[in-house]
């Protein structure tokens, strides 16, 4: 059977670093409060004029180099983002053009913080049906643009960045020992909209709007939802937490990651954490974390890796694969 294997990854974060202490002058907060409640110490923030397409393009180019291919070898680009350059056209099409690619197709996918898991799962379907052979999947965000910088309960949590992977069709046996994506599980439930949303949009207010969140409510639901889709991945493959080489969760909050890993029996040394230096970069957080652990040599070819995310909607999902 056809499997989708990750053959390369790349990432990019803006040069501008904002430390917690820098935010003490923006809102009434402290480094101690932010570190204790979230584990975040700093985040990258795009400077004026630096856009989601800029970050996504840089991550995409790095992923193509790492995979050893050129844009000519791609059939498709899927960009996960909630902070596009324009309402339309899709930012992925702009990135496609910048890469000099005039064949194939590009489109954006929107599932907020779960966006990368949704985009990766979508790409996997195209590959396994034979519709495409190679797909570039990008998660890129400039969440700083939709933050209310007067709201200390949200503005300290997020950062900007981009990560990308190249998926390629490979032959598999149909066994859990195969290389590539082994199983994926997606969920959403719109009844939770008011707990995490942006209070604007083209059709409702004709504005972009700002992120609004009931932090405690998000926290209350997060661990259960994350556990749900991970247990579904285990049930589908016969694997369990003891078989994982690496757990790469969405980087929203260190306390959510720790609580989820503990509940699932995943030891801390198998968890990739980047929230301390990236903050929550929404759809970019998983590919940023994955790429960091591949680049520093922790994640190796053949490792069993679990991605998991939960975000606005609510949406949530998991992807279990062998790198």
Active site members = 113, 250, 280
Cis status, amide bond into 314, omega within 30 of 0? yes
Six-digit token string for 220 = 């209350």
**What crossing angle do the helices spanning 52-67 and 91-98 adopt, rounded to 10°?**
50
Closest CA to 238 of 187, 182, 185: 182
Pick 181 or 310: Cβ nearer ligand ACO:
310
Least separation in angstroms between CB 252 and ligand ACO = 3
Are 155 and 23 a contacting pair, CB within 8 Å?
Answer: yes
Task: Please name the residue that has the structure tokens 């999902």.
Answer: 317
Pick 41 or 152: Cβ nearer ligand ACO:
152
Q: Does 280 bind ligand ACO (CB under 6 A)?
A: yes
Q: Does 157 bind ligand ACO (CB under 6 A)?
A: yes
Pick 219 or 239: Cβ nearer ligand ACO:
219
Binding residues with ligand ACO: total (CB under 6 A):
22
Strand 304-311 to 246-249 pairing: parallel
Six-digit token string for 223 = 């661990």
Instruction: Tally the C-alpha atoms within 13 A of residue 252's C-alpha that lie toward its C-beta.
Output: 26
Q: Does 29 bind ligand ACO (CB under 6 A)?
A: yes
Instruction: State how far the Cα of 270 lies from the Cα of 58, in Å rounded to an integer.
Output: 28
Which listed range, 126-134, 169-177, 250-258, 262-270, lies at the site for ligand ACO (CB under 6 A)? 250-258
Task: Please name the residue that has the structure tokens 């997060």.
Answer: 222
Question: Of 73, 97, 148, 219, which one interacts with ligand ACO (CB under 6 A)?
Answer: 219
First vs last C-alpha separation in the chain: 17
Q: Does 18 bind ligand ACO (CB under 6 A)?
A: no
Question: Of 152, 187, 212, 263, which one interacts with ligand ACO (CB under 6 A)?
Answer: 152
Q: Does 92 bind ligand ACO (CB under 6 A)?
A: no
In order of 142, 277, 293, the CA distances from 17 in angstroms are 14, 9, 20
Least separation in angstroms between CB 110 and ligand ACO = 14
Pick 126 or 316: Cβ nearer ligand ACO:
316
Q: At residue 17, what are phi and psi to the nearest 5 degrees?
A: -105, 130
Q: Does 37 bind ligand ACO (CB under 6 A)?
A: yes
Which listed range, 59-67, 172-180, 210-218, 296-304, lies at the site for ligand ACO (CB under 6 A)? 210-218
Q: What is the DSSP string of 53-84?
A: HHHHHHHHHHHHHHHT--GGG-SEEEEE-SS-
Give 46's DSSP letter.
Answer: P
Identify the three-state secondary structure at position 306. Answer: strand
Question: Of 130, 174, 216, 269, which one interacts with ligand ACO (CB under 6 A)?
Answer: 216
Least separation in angstroms between CB 250 and ligand ACO = 6
Which listed range, 128-136, 148-156, 238-246, 266-274, lies at the site for ligand ACO (CB under 6 A)? 148-156
Question: Of 4, 13, 38, 42, which one interacts with ligand ACO (CB under 6 A)?
Answer: 38
Q: Does 146 bind ligand ACO (CB under 6 A)?
A: no
Identify the three-state secondary structure at position 255. Answer: helix
Q: Which residues bind ligand ACO (CB under 6 A)?
A: 29, 33-34, 37-38, 113, 152-153, 156-157, 196, 213, 215-216, 218-219, 252-253, 256, 280, 310-311
């Amino acid at each position: 059977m056809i499997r989708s294997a990750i053959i390369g990854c790349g990432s990019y974060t803006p040069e501008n670093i904002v430390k917690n202490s820098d935010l003490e002058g923006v809102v009434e907060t402290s480094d101690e409060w932010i570190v204790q409640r979230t584990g975040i110490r700093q985040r990258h923030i795009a400077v004026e004029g630096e856009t989601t397409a800029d970050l996504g393009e840089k991550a995409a180019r790095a992923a193509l180099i790492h995979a050893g291919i050129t844009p000519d070898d791609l059939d498709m680009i899927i960009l996960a983002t909630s902070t596009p350059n324009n309402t339309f056209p899709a930012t992925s099409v702009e990135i496609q053009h910048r890469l000099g690619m005039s064949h194939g197709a590009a489109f954006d996918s929107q599932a907020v913080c779960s966006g990368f898991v949704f985009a990766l799962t979508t790409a996997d379907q195209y590959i396994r049906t034979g519709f495409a052979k190679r797909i570039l999947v990008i998660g890129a965000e400039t969440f700083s643009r939709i933050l209310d910088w007067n709201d200390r309960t949200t503005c300290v949590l997020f950062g900007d960045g981009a990560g990308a992977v190249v998926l390629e069709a490979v032959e598999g046996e149909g066994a859990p020992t195969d290389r590539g994506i082994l199983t994926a599980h997606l969920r959403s439930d719109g009844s939770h909209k008011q707990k995490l949303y942006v209070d604007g949009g083209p059709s409702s207010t004709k504005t972009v709007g700002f992120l609004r969140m009931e932090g405690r409510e998000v926290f209350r639901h997060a661990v259960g939802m994350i556990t749900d889709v991970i247990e579904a991945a285990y049930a589908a493959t016969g694997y369990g937490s003891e078989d994982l080489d690496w757990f790469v969760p969405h980087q929203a909050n260190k306390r959510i990651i720790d609580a989820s890993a503990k509940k699932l029996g995943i030891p801390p040394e198998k968890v990739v954490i980047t929230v301390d230096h990236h903050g929550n970069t929404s759809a970019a957080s998983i590919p940023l974390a994955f790429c960091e652990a591949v680049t520093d040599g922790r994640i190796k070819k053949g490792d069993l890796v679990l991605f998991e995310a939960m975000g606005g909607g609510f949406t949530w999902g998991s992807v279990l694969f062998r790198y």
